[in-house]
A and B are shown apart, each in its own frame.
Chain A
Amino acid sequence: MSLLRIEGISKWFGATQVLYDISFTFYPGQINMIIGPSGCGKTVLLKCIVGLIRPETGKVFFGEIDFLKASSEQRRSILKNLGMLFQSSALFDSMTVGENVAFPLRVFTRQPEKVIQDRVAYCLERVGLAGLQAKYPAELSGGMKRRVGLARAIALTPKYLFCDEPNSGLDPLTARRIDELIQEITQEFQTTTVVVTHDLKSMLDMGQRILFLYQGRAEWQGTRTQLFRELEALPPNLSNFLHASGLIR
């Protein structure tokens, strides 16, 4: 079962503590959102989960395996099931769109080239960019890059999908399209999707489970239904954060 659980994550950068004892469970087939104002530690937490930053304390369980203590074999099998959409898309500049999407397939599988190309075509079609294989990332718009990043993230049909600010810097229409794609992919592949954002519209549209961070601390966690039910009794920082958007009155 592709349950993802974090327990007691704390992180320091030098003398500054940026995460304080954070625990949360991310459920499969749902969009789990980490929200909070800029600089609250959302991206650091995400990087701790995917292993890009090592937390000082805490555990990250992918299923039953503690990722931080996993053997290299276990680590590789977890990473094979993990797709990530970066804030900057992180497409490889020297490769074409097709090569970018094919890259994880070439690293993790020994499929024939024809099968890889078919899968690349499917993934690009899935994000609405069919036929763009030969283009280079520099030739694409910000929204297209983000969608290619998503196509690359789903190339191996991941069990876990991580999205770091997936729609920041995009126009509202493109941002909504990216949100819709994330929702569709989560439903289609039943992935455990973790989205880091400070975009409240996104959170209200698609967030099913929510973790609110404030200055490195988990101030509130629960479902979206719970959030609306407890609207009057929310912690002041979350309440201010929600009301600042003007979406909730």
Chain B
Amino acid sequence: MNLLLKGFEDFGQYLLLLRRSFTGLLRFRLYWELWTHEQIHMGRDSLFLVAIISLFVGAVTTVQTAYQIVSPFIPKSTIGAIVSTSAILELAPTVTSLVLAGRIGSSIASQIGSMRVSEQIDALEVMGINSATYLILPRLFSAIVAFPLLVIYACFIVHVGGIIAGAFTGAVNPTQFAIGARSFFEGFQITFMLIKAVTFGFIISTVSAYQGYFVRGGALEVGKSSTRAVVVSCLMILVADYVLAQLLL
């Protein structure tokens, strides 16, 4: 019962923080600098990690799909269709976001958390700056821009990984893979992927910021908040993934 009440209290506090982060905007230039900095941190600095993970996810999915399709009556292009559809609908947005929850979520929580314990947030407030707006809004908008781009990039690399693995193992050649991928493609799948990316970006940036913003104590608590940010973000992503699939597909 106490856990449930704590959950409601946290959710209420999270909503209030979100509302506060949209008020008391100051000069655009202040946020622009933070936004560009966060874009580099979230976007450019994640490219390598996303590429490596997506490449292997694509390769493994192709090999495992080929392993399950044993009937000679099923065309090889089916592998391409399954890998491509899975990549667009699930693998690129969800796996990428789960990975980014670890990289970006923990970073946001620890940055804001250490600012809290070292009184930097108090310093902002004493200067008349709404710390919630200053710290959360640029990160939120960075995530909303960076995540769809990273997910598109991840989706492309998953396909590349699938094609390479298919050709390397002889399971499916690149032409068959491309035919399969195109045969089941629908434009809405891309829309769905982007909706997921924006939603997951929103969840990771705001949940992690919330965890960092309300840290009390010292370095130990900052570390704990960082871990909590990753765990809660991952759980929220999985819940949102299901809800979006149920609502939109």
Interface residues of chain A, those whose CB is within 8 Å of chain B, are: 47, 50-52, 72, 75-76, 79-80, 82, 84, 86-88, 90-94, 103-104, 106-108, 162
Contact = CB atoms under 8 A, between A and B. Distances in A.
Contacts of A52: 122, 125-126
A84 B126 contact: yes
> Contact size class for B?
10 to 19
A177 to B, nearest CB: 22
Top-7 shortest CB links A-B: A79-B128, A90-B119, A90-B123, A86-B119, A84-B126, A88-B119, A76-B128
A104 B127 contact: yes
B26 interface: yes
B169 interface: no
Given A88-B118, A92-B120, A93-B120, A107 B30 contact: yes
Given A90-B118, A92-B120, A106 B126 contact: no
A165 B26 CA distance: 30
Contact of B126 (A50, A88, A94, A108): A50
Given A76-B128, A80-B128, A88-B118, A107 B123 contact: no
A106 B24 CA distance: 16
Interface of B: 24, 26-27, 29-30, 37, 114-115, 118-120, 122-123, 125-129
B197 to A, nearest CB: 27
B127 A103 contact: yes
Nearest to B129: A107
Contact of B127 (A47, A79, A162): A79
A94 B134 CA distance: 14
A75 B127 CA distance: 10
27 contacts: A50-B126, A51-B126, A52-B122, A72-B24, A76-B128, A79-B126, A82-B126, A84-B126, A86-B123, A87-B119, A88-B119, A90-B118, A90-B122, A92-B115, A92-B120, A92-B123, A93-B114, A93-B115, A93-B118, A93-B120, A94-B37, A103-B127, A106-B27, A107-B26, A107-B30, A107-B129, A108-B128
A208 to B, nearest CB: 23
Contacts of B127: 79, 103-104, 107-108
A73 B135 CA distance: 22
Contacts of B24: 72
Given A51-B126, A86-B119, A87-B119, 8 more contacts: A84-B123, A86-B122, A88-B119, A90-B118, A92-B123, A93-B114, A94-B37, A106-B29
Contacts of A88: 118-119
A79 B125 CA distance: 9
A79 B27 CA distance: 17
Contacts of A107: 26-27, 30, 127-129
Contacts of A108: 127-128
A182 B119 CA distance: 20
A104 B123 CA distance: 10
A141 B120 CA distance: 18
B11 to A, nearest CB: 21
A80 B127 CA distance: 7
A92 B120 CA distance: 6
Contacts of B123: 84, 86, 90, 92
Contacts of B129: 107
Contact of B120 (A76, A84, A90): A90
A69 B128 CA distance: 15
B128 A75 contact: yes
Contacts of A91: 120
B134 to A, nearest CB: 10
A80 B119 CA distance: 19
A150 to B, nearest CB: 13
A19 B125 CA distance: 22
Contacts of A80: 128
A73 B127 CA distance: 13
A107 B29 CA distance: 10
A80 B26 CA distance: 14
A88 B119 CA distance: 7
Nearest to A162: B126
Contacts of B30: 106-107
A110 to B, nearest CB: 8
B90 to A, nearest CB: 36
